[in-house]
Amino acid sequence: MKEKVEEALNSIRGYLQADGGDVELVEVGEDGTVKVRLTGACKGCPMSQMTLQMGVERTLKEKIPEVKKVVAVD
C-alpha cells in the first residue's frame, strides 16, 4: 500500500510545490492511517490543516479506499 500512497501523493505534489510547499510520506499504518509531514511553505501556513484534509486526505481516500485517515506529524 505504501507504493500506492506515494503514487497518489505524487499526483498532488505539483499543486503544493506551486505554492512553495511539499508533502513527505512518513508512515503507512496497518490500520489505514497515513502519516505525512508538510514541508516548505505548507509547514507554517495557517491553511495547512485545510490542505491536509481537503487536498491530501481526500485524494488519498479517493485513490486508495484502504486509507482511513491522514495525519500530519512534525
Each of the 74 residues of the chain gets a pLDDT tens digit; together they read 999 999 999 999 999 999 999 999 999 999 999 999 999 998 888 889 899 999 999 999 999 999 999 999 98
Its domain, for residue 60, covers: 2-72
Report the number of distinct structural domains present in the chain. 1
Q: Check residue 1 and give its pLDDT.
A: 93
Locus of grid cell 488519498: 60
pTM to 2 decimal places: 0.90
- Mark residue 60 as left, alpha or beta (left: phi above 0; alpha: psi -120 to 50; beta: remaining): alpha
CATH number for the domain spanning 37: value is 3.30.300.130
**Cα–Cα distance, 34 to 41 (Å, whole number):** 21
Tell how strand 33-40 and strand 21-28 pair up: antiparallel
**Cα–Cα distance, 45 to 60 (Å, whole number):** 21
Specify which residues 43 forms β-bridges with: none
